[in-house]
Structure 1
Amino acid sequence: MSQYRELKNEPAASVDQVRELEAQLKEMSRQLQEKDNKIADVEEELAIVKKAVHIFSKPRN
Structure 2
Amino acid sequence: YNQITHNVMYCHATLSNYLHATTSSKIGGMLAYSQVYPATSNPKILFYHINGMSL
Q: Which has the higher contact order (CA 8 A, sep 6+)?
A: 2
Q: What TM-score do you get using the length of structure 2 for normalisation?
A: 0.40
Q: TM-score, normalized by length of structure 1?
A: 0.37
Q: Indicate the structure (1 or 2) with the bigger Cα radius of gyration.
A: 1
More helix by share: 1
